Amino acid sequence: MKKENISIKEIARLAGTSVATVSRVINQNGRFSEETGQRVREVIEAYNYRPNELARSLRVDKAQVVGVIVPDITNEFFSYIARKIETDLLEKGYMAVICDTNESMEREKQYIETLKAMRVGGIIYVSGDQKIEPIRGIPAVYIDRKPEFVNGDRGSCFIGGDNYQGGYLAAQRLIRAGRKRIAIVLHARTIATQEKRLNGYRQALYDYGIPGGEELIYQVENVDMDHGFRITKEIWESPERPDAIFYSSDILAIGALQYFHERGVKIPRDVSIVGIDDIPLSARVTPALTTVRQDYLKYGSLASNAVVKMMKGDQEKRTYILSMELIERETV
| CATH no. of 65-162+296-323 | 3.40.50.2300
Residue 21 has a pLDDT of 84
Q: Where are the domains of the chain?
A: 8-51, 65-162+296-323, 163-293
Domains 65-162+296-323 and 163-293 share a fold: yes
Residue 54 has a pLDDT of 46
| CATH no. of 163-293 | 3.40.50.2300
Q: How far apart are CA 290 and CA 302, in angstroms?
A: 26
Cα 86 vs. chain centroid, distance in angstroms? 11
Lowest mean pLDDT among 81-95, 104-118, 273-287, 296-310: 104-118
DSSP character for 321? E
| Each residue's pLDDT tens digit, 181-233 | 999 999 987 677 899 999 999 999 999 999 988 999 999 998 999 999 999 99
DSSP string, 150-177: -SS-TTEEEEEE-HHHHHHHHHHHHHHT
Residue 292 has a pLDDT of 98
| Each residue's pLDDT tens digit, 25-84 | 776 666 778 888 889 888 888 887 766 554 454 443 446 889 999 988 888 899 999 999
The contacts of residue 52 (CB under 8 Å, 6+ apart) are none
Residue 61 has a pLDDT of 45
